[in-house]
């Protein structure tokens, strides 16, 4: 009963706070178009580098530029949660705030993926088995590191410490974290057909469907996605700074 009460009241409070923050920062939905445009330019530029004598640098450029865009978006969320607003300067400044922290996380992930491929290679006797291993790893990352973006912009840790903290957070808060997140992901999928398998998604894909239906679905998707990302930030802050017992105690004290 204590768990159900905590789920209800914590998410009620989180929803109300998220609604007010989103209402005052609705312009964040348009960052989806910005990051989509930047991604198109980035991949075009990387493609040119890959075909030149500097091709060996293309992967590094891609990693750094992607990290910068993720950093920018997370910094906007950070400002929304801390200050209740964001502005154009935050958007520009954000490209460097968490850049090397995110790059460090990506580098650790690359090393882990390299070791995993070496360990699993003897067992991957066919494309089917190899694909199965890849799917299992993707699902494990999606579950065990789900709140990694929130940990990056809300906690002052090194890349490795941030990953360890994320594991610990999920271990202690998996019910409180996943129930609302699964519900929101279900709503997003049923509404737009989009499902998020990348924990560092910063915008929904734009399929260049310029019909009224296509534009409407993209707009609805970006509204939902932006609301969800703010909600995740508010929920993470609540769960990471309190325990279930403390939250119940505080609610009872102020009845």
Lowest pLDDT segment from 75-79, 83-87, 124-128 = 124-128
> What is the rounded CA–CA span in Å between residue 61 and residue 84?
33
Q: What is the mean pLDDT of residues 23-52?
A: 88
Torsion of CA 174, 175, 181, 182, to 10 degrees: 110
> What is the rounded CA–CA span in Å between residue 152 and residue 105?
9
> What is the rounded CA–CA span in Å between residue 22 and residue 232?
12
pLDDT of residue 113 exceeding 90, the answer is no
pLDDT of residue 47 exceeding 90, the answer is no
Q: What is the mean pLDDT of residues 231-247?
A: 93
Lowest pLDDT segment from 101-115, 126-140, 181-195 = 126-140
pLDDT of residue 18: 98
| Assigned token pair, 161 | 């410490």
Neighbour-count burial for 181-206, b at 16+ CB within 10 Å, e otherwise? beebbeebeeebebebeebbbbbbeb
Tens-digit pLDDT profile for residues 120-173: 666 666 666 667 777 888 889 999 999 999 999 999 999 999 999 999 999 999
Q: What is the pTM for the complete model shown?
A: 0.92
For residue 239, which of 3, 10, 38, 8 has the smallest C-alpha distance? Answer: 10
Domains in the chain: boundaries? 2-26+100-253
pLDDT of residue 226: 97
C-beta pairs of 155-159 under 8 Å, 24+ apart in sequence: 155/240, 158/101, 158/104, 159/101, 159/102, 159/104, 159/105, 159/107, 159/108
């Amino acid at each position: 009963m204590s768990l159900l009460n905590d789920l209800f009241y914590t998410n009620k409070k989180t929803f109300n706070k998220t609604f007010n923050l989103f209402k005052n920062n609705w312009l964040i939905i348009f960052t989806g178009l910005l990051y989509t445009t930047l991604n198109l330019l980035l991949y075009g530029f990387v493609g040119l580098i890959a075909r030149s004598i500097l091709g060996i640098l293309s992967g590094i450029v891609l990693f750094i530029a992607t990290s910068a865009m993720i950093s920018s978006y997370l910094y906007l969320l950070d400002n929304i949660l801390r200050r209740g607003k964001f502005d154009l300067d935050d958007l520009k400044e954000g490209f460097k705030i968490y850049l090397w922290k995110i790059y460090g996380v990506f580098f650790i992930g690359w090393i882990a993926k390299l070791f995993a491929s070496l360990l699993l290679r003897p067992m991957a006797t066919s494309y089917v088995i190899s694909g199965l291993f890849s799917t299992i790893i993707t699902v494990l990352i999606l579950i065990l590191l789900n709140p990694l973006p929130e940990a990056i912009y809300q906690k002052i840790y090194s890349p490795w410490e941030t990953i360890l903290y994320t594991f610990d957070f999920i271990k202690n808060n998996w019910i409180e974290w996943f129930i609302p997140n699964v519900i929101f992901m279900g709503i997003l999928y049923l509404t737009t057909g989009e499902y998020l398998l990348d924990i560092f998604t910063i915008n929904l894909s734009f399929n260049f469907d310029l019909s009224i239906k296509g534009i409407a679905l993209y707009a609805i998707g970006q509204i939902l996605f932006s609301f969800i990302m703010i909600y995740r930030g508010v929920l993470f802050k609540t769960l990471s700074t309190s325990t279930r017992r403390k939250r119940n105690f505080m609610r009872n004290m102020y009845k």
